[in-house]
Amino acid sequence: MSASLSAPTSRGGYVPRRKRPSIWLLLPVLLLVVLSLLPLVYVGLKTWQAGWAEALHLLWRPYVFGLLRNTLALMVGVTITCGVIGLSLAWLLERSNLPGRRLWGVILCLPFAVPAFVSSFTWVSLSAQFEGLGGAILVMSLSKYPLIFLPVAATLRNLDPSLEESARTLGQNRWGVFFRVTLPLLWPSLLAGSLLIALHMLVEFGALSIIGLQTFTTAIYQQFELEFSNANAAMLSAVLLALCLILLWLELASARQGSTCAHRPGRGATGCAGSPGALGCRSDRLYCLMLAIIGSGIPLGMLAYWLAVGSSAAFPVAAISEALLSSLALSLGGAALCLVLAVPVGLLVVRYKGQLAIWAERLPYLLHALPGLVIALTLVYFALHYVPVLYQTSGLLLIAYALLFLPLAQAPIRTALNKAAPQLEEAARTLGASSFSAFCRVTLPIIFPALGAAFALVFLDAMKELTATLLLSPTGLNTLATEVWAHTANVEFAAAAPYAALLIVVSGLPVYLLTTRMYLSR
């Protein structure tokens, strides 16, 4: 029997008895690789068909330079602003005795529960002065700063405070300790969060469309939806793809940097922000209160106002219910399809490895950095030319959801599969079970909690998806996100409020659970 089981390797792992993965494992992986390559093939094909002369003519225009200027200005402005806010808040909550810091940690993460296009609609409905580049930087910064605040706070919490205490004993003041000791240790987390925000700014569409700022994503949508120009849209997509690849390369380079040498949590500061005195505490509380008001208080307050105004008029219960049910159905279907694709990829990576496994694992992460518009345009093109029966169907939209959100499912599933010993499946096979049966009876129950977490993550992001849904949804099918966008585009703020409120309720629960687990359970 020992000969039939997997033999231990030099690293302590196990090599599967089957040298080649079974067909039920290979088919979904191959399908995923083909689908993931389609956006790159589409952009390359359109560029080739246009020719270099036409491509240069389409791109070398003041209009494109204006889009590039707006996109880069937004990306740099939001990234820097989020870095300052996130770093300062993390320092206040983890290196001070700020009263009620645990509750502040929950409150200051609330803007993350409000979808960016919902937040933008509330600010624009407050005043038209928030339209344009300045308003976009303000709104997007208030919406995205938790992407830096949360990882930097976690890193600070795990840093060994003796490093900072040693610097103080050597005569360094608190600013010297921060810049010479703490900031270099925080740099990997800060840089990773900043690059993630920069990628989000490149692919953001809904919020910028509502605010009225022209970037590459809004221009791509206009070229396709208003002018039905695939060539222009593809050329703009090529520029955006190049920017995304540059940022992805920077993110991979930063990930290779060493991690911090954190082991023991501690707080080692006195007073607020490390400086004693009631005045410092009052100013820090005022700073947190100001961010809470403008980050979540104003958007939620304006939403409540428009809900009250809308309730005095006709309240389309049937339309709201239909949009909610459509959102739930599409999100559940997209999450299920993600699991169907993510589990075979995880098994191939963990159990078999090889070049196919590497491509299947990494390609979805590349697509995750692309705008939903580029993926949607790709699926529209290939559906019309090669599989017309799929065009304008929910199935095509579910494929888009799977391509967009697959990385959210890959990470927890791979982690769980790494902990599931493959020799258990091998033992089941020696008792006569097929590979598929052994997986369902032995491994599936072990990884089931990870499957639930992956399903929830994909479901919640799919509920808020806008760009691919606008291009791919069947005629007459509306979701909560598309209804918010449509009503806001027509300056119907009261009509958009019920859909926006439902989105916040759905997306707010995981943010609440995350922050309470991080701060209130300690």
Which residues 6+ apart lie within 8 Å of 330 measured at CB?
A: 394, 397, 398, 401, 462, 469, 479
Q: How many whole angstroms separate alpha carbon 53 and alpha carbon 203?
A: 27
What pLDDT was estimated at residue 222?
Answer: 79
Give the residue-averaged pLDDT of 330-346.
Answer: 90
- Residue 151: what pLDDT? 82
Q: How much is the pLDDT for 8?
A: 42
Mean pLDDT, range 411-435, rounded to an integer? 74
Give the per-residue pLDDT at 251.
67
Residue 400: per-residue pLDDT: 92
Residue-wise pLDDT tens digits, 480-509: 989 888 888 787 888 888 888 888 888 766
Assess contact for 288 and 93: CB atoms under 8 A.
no
| Cα–Cα distance, 213 to 477 (Å, whole number) | 27
pLDDT in the model for residue 78: 95
Contact yes or no for 14/7 (Cβ under 8 A): yes
Q: From CA 487, how far away is CA 140, in angstroms rounded?
A: 20
Confidence band, pLDDT 50/70/90 cuts, at residue 437: confident
Q: How many Cβ atoms from other residues are within 10 Å of residue 17's Cβ?
A: 17
CB 9 within 8 A of CB 15: yes
Average pLDDT over residues 464-473: 87
Q: Output the CA angle 395-399-400, nearest 5 degrees.
A: 115
Q: Spell out the domains of the chain, with CATH numbers in brackets.
A: 38-260+267-295 (1.10.3720.10), 313-489 (1.10.3720.10)
SS3 of residue 275 by DSSP: strand
Can you read off the two tokens belonging to residue 500? 């926006």
Indicate if the pLDDT at residue 350 is higher than 60.
Answer: yes
- pLDDT > 90: percent of the chain: 10
Is pLDDT at 343 greater than 80 in this prediction?
yes
Residue 8 pairs in a beta bridge with 14
Q: What are the Cα distances from residue 426, in Å, to 7, 163, 216, 371, 434?
A: 11, 49, 51, 42, 10
Confidence of residue 265 (pLDDT cuts 50, 70, 90): very low
pLDDT at 445: 79
Predicted pLDDT of residue 84: 92
SS3 272: strand
The dihedral built from the CA positions of residue 479, 405, 106 and 121, taken in this order, carries a sign that is negative
Q: What is the pLDDT of residues 111-149, one digit of tens each?
A: 877 888 888 888 988 888 888 899 999 999 998 898 888
Decide if pLDDT at 82 tops 90. Answer: yes
Q: What is the pLDDT of residue 73?
A: 94
Question: What pLDDT is recorded for position 401?
Answer: 93
Task: Give the C-alpha separation, 481 to 301, whole Å.
Answer: 20
Average pLDDT of the segment spanning 217-237: 73
- Average pLDDT for 327-338: 92
SS3 assignment, position 394:
helix
- The pLDDT score that the predictor gives to residue 329 is 92
The whole-angstrom separation of Cα 309 and Cα 287 is 32
Residue 441 C-alpha from the chain's centroid: 33
Could you give the residue ranges of the DSSP H alpha helices within 112-160? 116-126, 133-144, 146-158
Residue 313 pLDDT > 60: no
364-412 per-position pLDDT tens digit: 877 776 778 888 888 988 898 888 898 889 999 999 999 988 888 887 8
